């Protein structure tokens, strides 16, 4: 995963609360290998009518170039399916701005280079206001955790560890392997002090 520090793109407003992971990618698409690309599955049932045609009135459909999604509370709540993040990434989204995120979604997002930018209610209202007329240019900085839209400079919240991880494109497996001695020592000690914590031999 490549790191990034600033992103310039277009923000689009999706004024819906609780867009859960079942909506981000319906379960029926999840047997697809990642290499096939998940972008078309993003919000599949919301974006399309019963016949499968794209709804012209759905915000994202008119702005395929948008790379920043501004939405409401509870984004990514629900299942742990990382495919929800793949669908966003493969559709070109780099950041999602919302008042709150599902915990597992947010962590999956950071693991894939997607920024879950949390904003307070007032900031959220300001951004929604700025996007009423349609998609607009935005610049996102991980360094000072700020969003710029025209003259507006607005803050977002992000765990410091996650901000670093996004910037460096760190992979946790690499980081963890540096702690191998600690891990082995811990496992040995646990095996001694709590042998019951290993599965019993079957009779």
Alpha carbon 100 to chain centroid distance?
11
Interface with other proteins, residue 200, by CB under 8 A: yes
DSSP notation for 122-172: HHHHHHHHHTTTS-EEEEEETTTTEEEETTEEEE-B--HHHHHHHHHT--H
Within positions 94 to 123, which residues make up the interface with other proteins, using CB under 8 A?
Answer: 100, 102-105, 107-108, 111-112
Binding mask 138-167 toward other proteins (x if CB under 8 A, else -) reads ---------------------xxx--x---
Interface with other proteins, residue 199, by CB under 8 A: yes
Within positions 29 to 58, which residues make up the interface with other proteins, using CB under 8 A?
Answer: 30-31, 33-34, 45-46, 50
Q: How many residues does the chain have?
A: 203
CA distances 146 to 52, 95, 110, 158, 198, Å, are 38, 12, 17, 10, 47
Helix axes 160-168, 103-111, angle to 10 degrees: 30
Closest CB 150 distance from other proteins, rounded Å: 27
Interface with other proteins, residue 71, by CB under 8 A: no
Alpha carbon 18 to chain centroid distance?
14
Interface with other proteins, residue 6, by CB under 8 A: no
The residue ranges that bind other proteins (CB under 8 A) are 16-18, 20, 22-23, 26-28, 30-31, 33-34, 45-46, 50, 73-74, 77-83, 85, 100, 102-105, 107-108, 111-112, 159-161, 164, 172-173, 176-177, 179, 182-183, 186-187, 190, 194-200, 202-203
């Amino acid at each position: 995963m490549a790191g990034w520090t600033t992103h310039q793109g277009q923000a689009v407003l999706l004024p819906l609360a609780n867009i859960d992971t079942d909506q981000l990618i319906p379960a029926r698409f999840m047997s697809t290998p990642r290499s096939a690309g998940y972008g078309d599955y993003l919000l599949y049932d919301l974006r399309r009518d019963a016949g499968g045609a794209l709804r012209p009135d759905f915000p994202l459909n008119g702005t395929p170039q948008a790379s920043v999604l501004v939405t409401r509370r509870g984004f990514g709540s629900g299942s742990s399916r990382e495919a929800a993040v793949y669908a966003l990434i493969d559709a070109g989204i780099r950041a999602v701005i919302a008042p709150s995120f599902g915990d597992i979604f947010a962590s999956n997002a950071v693991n894939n280079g997607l920024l879950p930018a949390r904003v307070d209610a007032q900031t959220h209202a300001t951004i929604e206001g700025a996007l009423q007329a349609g998609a607009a240019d935005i610049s996102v900085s991980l360094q000072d955790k700020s969003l710029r839209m025209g003259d507006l400079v607005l803050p977002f919240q992000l765990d410091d560890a996650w901000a670093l991880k996004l910037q460096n494109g760190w992979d946790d497996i690499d980081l963890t392997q540096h702690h191998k001695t600690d891990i082995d020592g811990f496992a040995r000690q646990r095996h001694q002090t709590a042998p019951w914590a290993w599965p019993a031999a079957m009779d």
